[in-house]
Amino acid sequence: MTDSRGQQPSYETYSGPLPGERTGAQQPGGPYHPPQAYGAPAPGGAAGVQAGGTLGGQTGAGAVRRPRTGARTTPRTRKARLRVAKADPWSVMKVSFLLSIALGICTVVAAAVLWMVMDAMGVFSTVGGTISEATGSNESNGFDLQSFLSLPRVLMFTSVIAVIDVVLMTALATLGAFIYNLSAGFVGGVELTLAEDE
């Protein structure tokens, strides 16, 4: 049997193109630059655009993307308009009770401090001596202001006023919550506009 294929090239000495390999000019060995979406316009107008298209859409060295000038840079202050539709009478009573107790304690402390300052300045002795001379007679010494306005009596009187103030403020605040709820049912309540802190 004879071989009809003729002489075959040797695989060890073959230097031609492989199957599927391009036979054209080889790519340069430089770095790869991907094409960009927008090329830099050349000074020549349309010719420059065509030249940029032939160059693969690459931008020139002097092309810089500029920021948009119409963008707002000042932040807006957000506002919300709310309406107080109802005030809970129970919560109003608790808050008003605590506030009235704090106010009563401040009243007692302020009265004690004021009495001590006036006593140290000699106000009671001077005014008391003047009143005792004006109201005194041969049989009595007159009205004694210092014994009437003593510190325990002043603190007791101030404490009674503070207790009455606690009861009245709590009752009036609770009654005011009921009245507000009734009026809010007719007119819609108080409207408030809230804004964020800048």
Asked if residues 144 and 128 have their Cβ atoms less than 8 Å apart, the reply is yes
pLDDT at 123: 81
The tokens for 69 are 């000038």
Q: 97-117 pLDDT, tens per residue?
A: 999 999 999 999 999 999 999
pTM above 0.85, yes or no: no
In this model, does residue 192 exceed pLDDT 70? Answer: yes
Burial of residue 176 (number of CB atoms within 10 Å: 0-12, 13-18, 19+): middle
Mean per-residue pLDDT, 31-59: 53
If you count them, how many residues does the chain have?
198
Mean per-residue pLDDT, 134-143: 65
Q: What percent of the chain has pLDDT over 70?
A: 56
Handedness of CA 82, 88, 91, 96 (dihedral sign): positive
